[in-house]
A = this chain, B = another copy of it.
Amino acid sequence: MPRRPRRAPPGRIEVLRIGHRAGRDPRLTTHLALAARAFGAERLYLHPPDPALADRLARVAQQWGGGFSVEGVRDWRSVLREHPGPVVHLTMYGEPLARVLPRLRRADRLLFVVGGAKVPSDLYARATYNVAVGHQPHSEVAALAVALALLRGLPAPGAWPGARQVIVPEAHGKRVVEAEASE
């Protein structure tokens, strides 16, 4: 990313997905989890729990490194109550991200919340910030990825801690090598 935030990035970012439907949303929530991991979150709280999805992401983390995990939760409100930092609900009805971003950059810990098809209305009051990544209908995957990328910058190439394999960027091809071989 050409223009990185000047401050150090926040210590920890977690994501809570509310209203996942295991039968209907498997690919969409997988994309959400992958985006959360790829752009710097360290955990996805998944409501309701979906062990198969947690296993899929655990296998990704084994291959590609990093400490990301998926934790199923039955009571999402307790995740909000226990979170020791701002809670950022991503919704197209909220305040523009540009307005809120400087405050998010100052937080040590952040919890992003993304809804599924229908969001319980009390979430708007419980969230510290309701934030819109643009005010057009889009996608929770898009909103989360853009918010994290603007907050943290894009991750640089290179193996993540514990990775078995790593991509070597190529202008016209695919190159994946064992993680040790790239050091």
Contacts and interface: CB of A to CB of B under 8 A. Distances in A.
- The oligomer's copy count stands at 2
A44 interface: no
A73 interface: no
A169 B91 CA distance: 10
Interface in A18-57: 24-25, 27-28, 31-32, 34-35, 37-39
A135 interface: yes
A115 to B, nearest CB: 12
A58 interface: no
Interface residues of A, number: 64
Nearest to A146: B149
Interface of A: 1-3, 24-25, 27-28, 31-32, 34-35, 37-39, 60, 64, 66, 91-98, 101-102, 124-125, 127, 129-130, 132-139, 141-146, 149-150, 154-158, 160, 166-167, 169-176
The 8 A-B pairs with the shortest beta carbon distances in the complex, nearest first, are A142-B145, A31-B139, A35-B142, A38-B138, A38-B136, A135-B167, A141-B141, A93-B174
